[in-house]
Structure 1
Amino acid sequence: MKSAVLSIISYSSLLTTLGWTSSALADIDYQINLKSPEHHLAQVNVTFPQHSGQQLKVNLPLWRTGKYQVLPLADGVRRFHATDEQGNSLPWKRSASGEWTVALSKPTAVTVSYQLYANELGQRVRHIDASHAFLDASGVFMYSPEFRQEPVKVTLDVPSDWRSYSGMAAGDKPHSFVAANYDVLVDSPIETGLSQHRAFKADGKQYELVVWGEGNYDLEQIEEDLGKLSATAVAIWDDYPFERYVYMVHATSGARGATEHLNSTIIQLPRFNFRERQDYLRFISTASHEFIHTWNVKAYRPEGLVPYDYQQENMTELLWMAEGSTSYFQNQLLLRAGIMTPKEFMEDLAKRVNANQHKPGREIQSVAEASAGQWVSTGGDYAINHSVNIYSEGYLTSLALDFSLLQDTAQEVSYRDVHRSLYREHKVPKGYNVTDVKRILKNLSGKDYESWWQSHVNAPLVLDFDKLLSQAGLKTAYGKDSKEQAFAGMTLTSGSLVLQSVERGGPAWQAGIVAGDQLLAINGLKVSAEGYGKRLADFKAGDELRVTLFHDDKLIERRVTLASEQSGKLQIKPKESVSRAQKAFFKAWLGIDWPFDAQGNYKS
């Protein structure tokens, strides 16, 4: 098998270096007919080179990169058919989930064809309608393990007014693309259809912005900010693993989310969730997250993910570094680029700290265990109370590690240097493991991080945030108007009286109330979903409430003794007295000057 390192090389430079033309890159020929897209259907044909074995196995992946979860992708396939090079039908059978075995009586090239149903927009795998098609190869194009590393060509047959875009190099015909192998194809989605397009440069690299769907976005603002963002990667890495990168954006009727790819990203947001500042920050932070993944996950990643095994789970205890560290860096790049203000950065950090303090699972599960368990993570009430998240707690683990490195090296080394070293030393197909990370930490800091790793990664992460942030001259606090208020420890499902979660150890938990119970009344008076918060404000800590609920369709009553919590939002503010050393630490951490004036307000 040829080295998977091909999958991280810039494809246009690869073609030039190897002297390949697009016609030479047709060892595996994919054709997809999208001429009648209104029913979410397409016809796919794949031709494999001559094979001399008694059978040829072809597969559709069981998962897609960027989502560590097994998906029922093969359920979108019907009318499977196989023929030899003379067009004669070949016998076949389903041999496993996502696998078809074609029987061969003599050496021959094999063409397989199948109908594809594509109506999974929110999964960011495949979606076809009258206006466009989004094609992630993991849910669209079958491959054979025998030919996984052979060059491929994809040709689309689309309506005449459609335009097609991908991070892959263009082929020799309109609506065609070429790639070095299936690993490149599977990580280079195609957006084809009716869309808006922009092209720009940043730090010598080519970028494209492709937006499908109408919405309240400002295309010029997005292009400008993506240009600023794209030029900040040098704050962490020495160079780029691509020559051209495509930002794909879907303005949707509700689907949201994003996925990183080798040379591009796909970002989805409801069509009217772009204009308000908080909505826009959510969008541009997501773009930053996925852009960072081009290095962290695509160019270098844990060895459990190298090479990808598309037919089963790919296990690693380092997903918190792959995802959580990416979350940690995303707003730092926006801050350096001037897209996000220091105030907005601190507000986001405060939300993360507050969410961690209201997640009892932080006392039970480590980020290493959460990483290994990500493939079966389902979220919900149990996760809040007994688990942590590779993104949110991975962010905070990265923060703690960054501060430890800055402290141990008098601000000479930061967590950015760790990722710079991983990129230099562990480019795919090499991969990295826990021992490699510890070695890099020791080489950079001169300190053995074994005990730190045991207490922060292999054990549940317990942080004293005020002690930690004090190194940068910061503290956690509530506003001047904050006061103690009653706390029941139960959260309603949005717009409903059904309990979404009950905080472990809180008042409702101790009273025997569980997620899924339906709240009816407090002290004999009916409660509405909209009025629950105001009703709770009528009481104070120590008051005992008679809470009436439906539990498994049975009417029950529980007595809840209220606790207390602070009202208002948690904030991160400057300490009353900040030293020059703390300000220097702050700049080494975030790369910007101290943003507060003498009164502790943000400078204009």
Structure 2
Amino acid sequence: MAQRWVWAVAIAIASGAVAGAANAQGEEVRTVPAPADAAYPGTITLNVDASDVGRRIFRVREEIPVAAGPLTLLYPQWLPGNHAPRGPIDKLAGLTIRGNGQPIAWRRDPVEVYAFHLDVPQGVGSLSVEFDFLSPQDSGQGRVVMTPDLLNLQWNTVALYPAGHYSSRITVAPSVKLPAGWQFGTALERAQGSGNAGDADGTIAFKPVPFDVLVDSPMFAGRHYKRIDLGGTPAPVHLNLFADEAKSLEFKPEQMEPHKRLVQQARKLFGSQHYDRYEFLFALTDQLGGIGLEHLRSSENTRSPGYFTEWDKWASARDLLPHEYTHSWNGKFRRPADLWTPNFNVPMQGSLLWVYEGQTQYWGTVLAARSGLLTPEQARDDLALVAASYAENRPGFGWRNLQDTTNDPIVAQRRPLPYRNYQMSEEYYSGGLMVWLAVDAKLRELSGNRRSLDDFARTFFGVDDGGMTVRTYAFDDVVAALNTVAAHDWAAFLRQRVDALAPPLDGLAAAGWKLVYTDTPSDYHKHRDTGRKAIDQSASIGLTLASNGNRITDVRWDSPAFKAGISPSGTLVAVNGREFSAERLKDAIAAAKDGKAPIELLLKNGDEYRTVRVDYRGGLRYPHLERIPGTPDRLNAILAPAK
């Protein structure tokens, strides 16, 4: 018992949990104050100069009202939507703190490195805090958020806030200076007298808001901008379009109509809205880093510049806006209890991400079809690709279940993985989609097709129409809501699928369809691979390449390519003695069917060249969905627009 107590004290001292303790250098070890549900006195002013787009620097100045004594300032670490401690504190530089014009020393907490401790001298009632946020110059340093034509301002990256308070009880008055002539979109409301062009120096001031609302209200800004009214009753919805070049903003009226129907179909699905207005922030760009991130009253989205101008080629990009919009209900308004935290430095847990993200992924596809952003055929082709990825390309289910992948935002932090299909990643997205397809089909079966997951959505997410206060939930709440739609052992039904060492694929058959393969890809599949610059032969030899450089990006574990000794690295130089091309690889796979010809590949990895022979005779295999004769077609009923 004594030894256990000594270890407990040692751990507490190391974490700063014992007041008055000292570290090895003799410095006092402070605790980081726990957040309390108490208002922070006064209003913090936050001024961000975002005009230096050439050097990609955000310059920050805060005025923080304070009282004399110890103070800890925090940089946001655990970010909603990221589900992980990924606040980019490594980009913070030049931190200086002053009181009454005099420098005040600060010290970073050696354990909680997102915390900065200082002592406020007597007579100082406000701190002037300045630092620079040095945003990435290229994608190797992180997501690019500033270019000569666009920027994405996420307030969590440009603010320190006082510890010891719920973030909802800290009031901030924000402002931002933009390059001359730029326009912006955000869910924040401008302060009285601050126009879209800002003050004389280009500064736009916003009304004070709680810090959690500020972090949940990012900004897109740029040279090339259009704002479209998508309707919305009773709260308006707008599409804020930005682009690298003005030509990307040209769209046809018939292309905008499904975006408007998205708003209508979402309202019919959920029967509510939990925002006073909603702003899609949407950049059509090759320069700004890719993103799809949810907020209660807005979302951050990027897609290719050809989203409108090459409409037929980008169907696979059109489920993003429905997905992020759904998050206003599922994830922002209603949120798993272990993903709600009182501030941005308390750890989150993702045990119900297969509901938060998985059901949102499901509704993203369904609403895309119901609104006309996808045709029913395109939606089925998308589901075929999802189903095939789990039927063929997730051998990791032999050791890891879907539930365990909810830990992956913390475990892997979205870093590239050597063998993603075997290690598995955030399968709660698309694997979760398949779970909820099974639930929807079961609800329709139990009720004689009179009730469905739509009824669950209205019951669970549609409560408190107009309310914007987060309502948390647990697993038992999900089960209870499903039982109000149709009685069943839903706890066992769900746990059998998320805890199994097997992919959740039974929903397809329950919806009246089955996965089949042919030697010809669907147009949707072809366009998706073109957009992703990928060559996908995962269902045949188990190989995926980047088409813009024949770089090997993935090898399915235990596939024919894997057994031939191919790893996800290097490049494919030649096929059967001839220079590599996508067509030659396909021809070789087709010709090898039934053992008629070899598949001989020349690989280059570093300065090493080697030739391997792939033992495969199954021919080209591309996934499709096919009706199961004599069964109810529940899938097309799911994809049909709500009346």
Shorter-chain TM-score above 0.5: yes
Structure 1 residues 392-403: aligned runs within 5 Å:
392-403=430-441
Partner in structure 2 of residue 187 of structure 1: 216
| d(CA) in 2 for partners of 1:195, 1:78 | 30
Q: CA deviation at 1:161?
A: 2.7
SS in structure 2 of the partner of residue 234 of structure 1? helix
Matched, 1:422 2:440: no
SS in structure 1 of the partner of residue 271 of structure 2? coil
Change (3 A) 1:118 1:515: closer
Matched, 1:225 2:258: yes
| d(CA) in 2 for partners of 1:284, 1:25 | 45
| d(CA) in 2 for partners of 1:576, 1:45 | 66
Pick the aligned partner of 2:90 from 75, 78, 101. Answer: 75
Matched, 1:144 2:162: yes
Matched, 1:371 2:406: yes
Matched, 1:442 2:483: yes
Matched, 1:589 2:638: yes
Instruction: Determine if contact 1:209/1:223 at 8 Å carries over to the other structure.
Output: no
Gapped regions of structure 2 (runs ≥ 5): 1-34, 195-203, 522-537
Is the deviation greater in 369-378 or in 124-133?
124-133
Deviations 1:203-253 (A, max 9, x none): 222222222222434346465433221121123313111011111121223
Change (3 A) 1:269 1:486: closer
| d(CA) in 2 for partners of 1:363, 1:231 | 42
| d(CA) in 2 for partners of 1:238, 1:561 | 55
Partner in structure 2 of residue 55 of structure 1: 70
Letter in structure 1 aligned against 2:263: S
Change (3 A) 1:457 1:89: same
Letter in structure 2 aligned against 1:226: H
Matched, 1:31 2:19: no
Partner in structure 2 of residue 257 of structure 1: 291
Pick the aligned partner of 1:303 from 322, 328, 337. Answer: 337
SS in structure 1 of the partner of residue 388 of structure 2? helix
| d(CA) in 2 for partners of 1:373, 1:42 | 31
Partner in structure 1 of residue 618 of structure 2: 564
Partner in structure 1 of residue 589 of structure 2: 536
Aligned residues: 565
SS in structure 2 of the partner of residue 127 of structure 1? coil
Gapped regions of structure 1 (runs ≥ 5): 7-23, 594-604
Pick the aligned partner of 2:494 from 447, 453, 473. Answer: 453
Partner in structure 2 of residue 269 of structure 1: 303
Q: CA deviation at 1:72?
A: 6.0
Matched, 1:291 2:330: no
Q: CA deviation at 1:313?
A: 4.7
Letter in structure 2 aligned against 1:403: A
Change (3 A) 1:154 1:67: same
Pick the aligned partner of 1:385 from 414, 422, 428. Answer: 422
Letter in structure 2 aligned against 1:38: G
Pick the aligned partner of 1:514 from 549, 560, 567. Answer: 567
Partner in structure 2 of residue 207 of structure 1: 237
Partner in structure 2 of residue 163 of structure 1: 183
Percent identity (aligned): 21
* Normalised TM-score (structure 2): 0.78
Deviations 1:570-601 (A, max 9, x none): 322444456xxx25x456533459xxxxxxxx
| d(CA) in 2 for partners of 1:402, 1:386 | 29
| d(CA) in 2 for partners of 1:236, 1:552 | 53
| d(CA) in 2 for partners of 1:549, 1:126 | 32
Change (3 A) 1:232 1:501: same
Partner in structure 2 of residue 19 of structure 1: none
Change (3 A) 1:314 1:424: same
Instruction: Determine if contact 1:319/1:371 at 8 Å carries over to the other structure.
Output: yes
Q: CA deviation at 1:545?
A: 5.6
| d(CA) in 2 for partners of 1:131, 1:554 | 42
| d(CA) in 2 for partners of 1:235, 1:128 | 37
Partner in structure 1 of residue 25 of structure 2: none
Instruction: Determine if contact 1:363/1:462 at 8 Å carries over to the other structure.
Output: no
Change (3 A) 1:411 1:564: same
| d(CA) in 2 for partners of 1:92, 1:399 | 53
Letter in structure 2 aligned against 1:374: P
- Alignment RMSD, CA only? 3.6
Letter in structure 1 aligned against 2:105: P
Matched, 1:105 2:121: yes
Deviations 1:439-494 (A, max 9, x none): 333343222223222320111344555xx445444344456989xx9943333343
Deviations 1:123-166 (A, max 9, x none): 99773455454211121222222453222211223345333431
Change (3 A) 1:486 1:121: closer
* Normalised TM-score (structure 1): 0.83
SS in structure 2 of the partner of residue 39 of structure 1? coil
Partner in structure 1 of residue 448 of structure 2: 410
Letter in structure 2 aligned against 1:438: V
Change (3 A) 1:517 1:251: closer
Letter in structure 1 aligned against 2:132: Q
Instruction: Determine if contact 1:486/1:563 at 8 Å carries over to the other structure.
Output: no
Change (3 A) 1:207 1:431: same
Partner in structure 1 of residue 153 of structure 2: 135
Change (3 A) 1:415 1:364: farther
SS in structure 1 of the partner of residue 448 of structure 2? coil
